[in-house]
Amino acid sequence: MHVHILGICGTFMGGLAVIAKNAGFTVTGSDQNVYPPMSTMLESQGIEIMQGFDVAQLNPRPDLVIVGNAMKRGNPCVEYMLNNDIPFTSGPEWLKNHILMNKKVLAVAGTHGKTTTSSILAWILEYNGYNPSFLVGGVLGNFGISARITDSEYFVVEADEYDCAFFDKRSKFVHYRPYVQILNNLEYDHADIFENIDAIKKQFHHLVRIIPSKGDIIMPADDKNLDDVIAMGCWSKLEKVGNKGSALFYDLLKDDGSSFKVIEPNGESLGIVNWSAVGIHNVRNALMAIKAAQYIGIGIDKAIEALSKFIMPKRRLELKGEVNNIKVYDDFAHHPTAIKTTTNGLRRMLGKDKRIIAVFEPRSNTMKLGVNHEELASSFEDADMVYMYAPLELKWNTDELKDAGLNVYHDFEQMVDAIANELKPNDSCLIMSNGSFNGIYQKLLNKLSVKA
């Protein structure tokens, strides 16, 4: 069966393509923006990618078109597909019908930390011989891919609350039939499809409604928005982690979170995690994954052992290069809370004496609309200097951030030049965007090499 995927280079759709290919389908796909790491990962799997949406890609006619949620009416391939009665479906629905029906699904939902927590959970299962299938919105460090299908009964999935397709506006995660569900956190995001936080809470409630009574929900002990979701109804086992006295909590042994004790409710230590991740947010992500793994029979001591060999997924505080003792990091952060936790994690790792130069692109649909922009300046409190690229098509006045001390540039090349001139030995440059950011990482490293 030949499936063609429209929007194949999105983090979810790219992983779906790998799943389909490994399951025996013939897979092709197309996208407007084709860039690493997803494009290189797909090519390594032998999946043909086409640039743009010329209708010629639908000849010969595929058996099924899987439509990404970035596709809209008016797209040439979408219109051709509809006018020529080519069968189509959304990615989440295809996954449910062809893959998940015979799996025990361990799902990770929440505004932040889904990719990292899913990666941790998949690795804990892998390390302990469970050989899980997985589909995660990023390239997993321990696996080098974002998705795979195996004969294991367990499937780890990053459960996104974003909508499925132009013809199915429900959140993706309602299709996943989870057996164990991690709810990392809940904040207002995706302002292009959700009117307010209550609309998102309703979608999370729909997710909770389909978790079986024999299943497990794992969530933080201090998230009011998730408490509101659970108050709408909960029919499954519920476990809270993170705070003292909850089902699992922690005691930092290193301020950056790279070493911590895992503690049970009575205060007894269950073991010490020494790992390569940093940041309090990742400590909490780890507790969520440890608890989920415990529910399916993996001892906490074995989960802790696995974490010592865990590698963070790509684009999560990833060191892209170093020139003249200047380090350049890449991170996927694009929401004020994620920016805050990422910069804080780097600050804890570096200490107080070294400079952090933060660079940000407001590329998500929410940030393009200006939602949450009031919180943006304060989210950089752990950075010494901030540069923001603000293309003129943004829907809000970014120049007001200059009064808060941010260096706002409307010209990309001018900004890169300014950053390169500002950076000095022992500095760390933290670049944050949920896109390719015009290849800024390599451009900056090249300029630093010339400067050196």
* Residue 70 within a domain: yes
- Give the burial string for 68-77 (b: 16+ CB within 10 Å, else e): bbbbeeebeb
- pLDDT (0 to 100) of residue 345: 83
* Residue 163 within a domain: yes
From CA 64, how far away is CA 332, in angstroms rounded?
A: 32
From CA 370, how far away is CA 386, in angstroms rounded?
A: 18
Among the candidates 264, 284, 307, a domain finishes at: 307
Residues 47 and 195 in one domain: no
DSSP secondary structure string, 312-347?
PPTTSSEEEEEETTEEEEEE---SHHHHHHHHHHHH
Distance of CA 19 to the CA centre of its chain: 18
Residue 359, helix vs strand vs coil = strand
- pLDDT (0 to 100) of residue 365: 72
Dihedral-angle region of residue 269 (phi above 0 means left; psi in -120 to 50 means alpha; beta otherwise) = beta
* Residue 312 within a domain: no
What are the φ and ψ backbone dihedral angles of 196, each rounded to 5 degrees?
-160, 180
Residues 52 and 157 in one domain: no
- Mean pLDDT (the chain) is 90
Residues 150 and 265 in one domain: yes
* Residue 381 within a domain: yes
**Which tens digits make up the pLDDT trace of 376-419?**
888 888 999 999 898 887 777 788 788 788 888 899 999 999 99
Among the candidates 307, 334, 356, a domain finishes at: 307
Residues 282 and 256 in one domain: yes
Residues 81 and 178 in one domain: no
- pLDDT (0 to 100) of residue 145: 84
Among the candidates 38, 72, 90, a domain finishes at: 90
Residues 164 and 302 in one domain: yes
- pLDDT (0 to 100) of residue 148: 92
CATH of the domain at 403: 3.90.190.20
Q: Which stretches of the chain score pLDDT less than 50?
A: none
Closest CA to 428 of 321, 356, 364, 365: 356
Residues 170 and 297 in one domain: yes
CATH of the domain at 65: 3.40.50.720
What is the extent of the structural domain holding 253?
Answer: 99-307
Q: What is the DSSP letter of 374?
A: G
- pLDDT (0 to 100) of residue 452: 61
Contact 121, 106 (CB under 8 A): yes
* Residue 313 within a domain: no
Residues 162 and 283 in one domain: yes
If one counts the domains in the chain, the total is 3
Residues 195 and 287 in one domain: yes
Residues 104 and 178 in one domain: yes
Residues 301 and 329 in one domain: no
- pLDDT (0 to 100) of residue 35: 66
- pLDDT (0 to 100) of residue 318: 84
CB-neighbour burial class of residue 452 (10 A; exposed 0-12, middle 13-18, buried 19+): exposed
* Residue 12 within a domain: yes
CATH of the domain at 273: 3.40.1190.10
Residues 322 and 301 in one domain: no
